[in-house]
């Protein structure tokens, strides 16, 4: 894998031709599998993200034998988890859905997906805040849909979101950034992990990880430093688990600003006073929510390219995903 400086975007140097695969609720792609025979096509997913991702479509309700159209189903209070019930007939579909979900998630794990997008509010696929009813039909609380619950339980490191939550720019960038990071890790594993390649991978992600969680970044550094004192299997497994945990934490404005200041430290001998003043002013504007992250990042990229700062040229923080997605233009 070529990870050296080049004219390619930072993220591209760590990818190959293997597609980025995401699981998705079939109705979000336009499949007419809803209870009423309709769909819930999401054009951002199909027309924008579809240019970068390969979809693995799943409809749990259809897969367990429910027809199209079909009576509505809902979550009803139960222990230890809400039950999946068809109110019209009173049929309890919980066991059928749970058995299917266990098997289906195992099948998806064998495909080694890079993420999953679920249909919000669905009693099978809703990630959270799905209405739970009493036996009398009164909504009393919220929970995850049956399939979504089992997906999260069996695969806790997988980036998972709902299509509705992706309308939030901050949730969108966190999810898609994690998807690309996971794919880079999978690419590394597929090509053959070694201590040397792990060090290169960790080095390239240093600033990005610090923007998420400084303590987690330091824990990862200690794991990498333990190479040679623990088995390679334990080394790689420990790194992978902690890597995903760090990426699941919020990269706040304060953390981003700290990372940006750390980055310009590598340029201190290259920048003249006016250039340094300009980039510092933009970092402070970003910290104070006056400009989006793309503004200081763009100027930093300019100076890194202009002055050929090798360490920063290799940092995925400056371009962890395609700029065409414009993820940091609104955060």
Domain ranges of the chain: 11-167, 191-331
Mean pLDDT of the chain, nearest integer: 95
Instruction: Indicate if the pLDDT at residue 7 is higher than 70.
Output: no
CA terminus-to-terminus distance, the chain:
31
pTM: 0.94
**Closest by CA position to 170, among listed 242, 253, 243:** 253
* Spatial contact of 58 and 25, defined as CB atoms under 8 Å apart: yes
pLDDT, tens digit (0-9, with 9 covering 90-100), for 29-54: 999 999 999 999 999 999 999 999 99
> What H or E segment, with its residue span, contains residue 140?
strand 139-143
Cis previous bond, 238, omega within 30: no
Q: Is 81 helix (H, G, I), strand (E, B) or coil?
A: coil
Region 243-251: mean pLDDT is: 96
Instruction: Indicate if the pLDDT at residue 8 is higher than 70.
Output: no
Tokens standing for 7? 């004219």
pLDDT at position 5 is: 44
Residues 6+ apart with CB under 8 A from 256: 211, 286, 293
* Spatial contact of 39 and 33, defined as CB atoms under 8 Å apart: yes
Q: Is 56 helix (H, G, I), strand (E, B) or coil?
A: strand
């Amino acid at each position: 894998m070529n990870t050296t400086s080049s004219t390619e975007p930072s993220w591209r140097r760590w990818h190959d031709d293997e597609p980025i695969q995401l699981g998705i609720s079939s109705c979000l792609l336009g499949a007419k599998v809803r209870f009423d025979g309709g769909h819930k096509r999401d054009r951002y997913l199909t027309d924008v993200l579809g240019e970068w991702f390969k979809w693995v479509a799943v409809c749990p309700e259809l897969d367990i034998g429910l027809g199209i159209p079909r009576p509505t189903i809902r979550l009803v209070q139960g222990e230890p988890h809400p039950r999946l019930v068809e109110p019209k007939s009173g049929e309890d579909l919980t066991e059928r859905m749970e058995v299917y979900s266990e098997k289906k998630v195992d099948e998806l794990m064998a495909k080694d997906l890079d993420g999953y997008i679920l249909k919000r509010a669905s009693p099978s696929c809703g990630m959270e805040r799905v209405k739970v009813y009493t036996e009398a039909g009164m909504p009393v609380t919220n929970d995850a849909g049956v399939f979504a619950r089992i997906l999260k339980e069996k695969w806790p490191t997988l980036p998972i979101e709902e299509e509705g939550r992706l309308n939030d720019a901050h949730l969108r960038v966190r999810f898609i950034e994690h998807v690309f990071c996971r794919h880079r890790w999978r690419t590394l594993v597929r090509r053959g992990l070694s201590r040397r390649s792990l060090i290169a991978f960790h080095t390239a992600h240093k600033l990005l990880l610090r923007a998420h969680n400084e303590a987690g970044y330091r824990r990862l550094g200690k794991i990498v430093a333990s190479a040679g004192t623990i088995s390679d299997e334990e080394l790689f497994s420990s790194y992978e688990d902690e890597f995903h945990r760090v990426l699941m934490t919020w990269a706040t404005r304060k953390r981003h600003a700290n990372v940006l200041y750390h980055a310009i430290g590598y340029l201190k001998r290259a920048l003249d006073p006016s250039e340094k003043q300009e980039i510092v002013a933009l970092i402070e504007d970003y910290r104070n929510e006056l400009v989006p992250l793309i503004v200081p990042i763009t100027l930093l990229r300019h100076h890194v390219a202009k002055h050929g700062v090798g360490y920063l040229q290799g940092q995925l923080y400056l371009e962890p995903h395609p700029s065409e997605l414009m993820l940091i233009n609104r955060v």
